[in-house]
Structure 1
C-alpha cells in the first residue's frame, strides 16, 4: 500500500485515469460493435455510415492514449475492407 503522500496521490490519480480510460474504451467498443452489426446485417450503406462515425472515435482513443496508433489503423483498415466486400 502507498505510504508516502506522493504515492497516495499517484494512487488516486491512477484510479481516476483508469475510470476515464475504461469509459473511453467502452464507448469506442460500442461504435465498433455498431459497425460489426451493420456488416452482419449486410447493409453496406449503414455499415459505411457506422464506420464513418466510428473512425474518428477510434482515432480520438489514440490521441488520448487508450489505443496504439497501429492498432487503431489496423481496426479501421480491416473494417473498411469488410464494408467494401459487402457490395462485391
Structure 2
C-alpha cells in the first residue's frame, strides 16, 4: 500500500481511468458484435448502419486514448472488409 500522498492519489486516478476504459471497450465490443450479428443474419442494410455506429464508437475510443489511433483504424478496416465481402 502506498504511503506517499501523491502515490495514493495516483491509485485513485488510475481506478477511475480504468473504469472509464472498461466502459468504452465494452461499448466498442458490443457495437462490433451487433454489426457482425447483422452480417450473419444477411441483413446488409442494417449491417451498414451498425458499421457506421461501430466505426463512430471505435474512433471516439481512439480520440479518448483508450485505443491507439492505428489500432482503431485497423479495427475499422477489418469491419469494412467484412461488410464489403458481404455486399
TM-score, normalised via structure 2 length: 0.94
Q: Equivalent residue for 1:23? A: 23
Q: Equivalent residue for 1:42? A: 42
Q: Equivalent residue for 1:2? A: 2
Where in structure 2 are there 5+ consecutive unaligned residues? Answer: none
- Counterpart of 1:2 in 2: which secondary structure? coil
Q: Equivalent residue for 1:53? A: 53
Aligned residue pairs total 87
Question: Are 2:66 and 1:66 aligned?
Answer: yes
Where in structure 1 are there 5+ consecutive unaligned residues? Answer: none
The whole-number CA distance in structure 2 between the counterparts of 1:41 and 1:73 is 25
The whole-number CA distance in structure 2 between the counterparts of 1:75 and 1:19 is 22
Deviation at 1:56, TM superposition (A): 1.1
- Contact (CA 8 Å) 1:28, 1:58: kept in 2 or not? yes
TM-score, normalised via structure 1 length: 0.93
Query: Aligned Cα RMSD in Å?
Result: 0.9
* Deviating 4+ runs (over 4 angstroms): none
The whole-number CA distance in structure 1 between the counterparts of 2:65 and 2:43 is 32
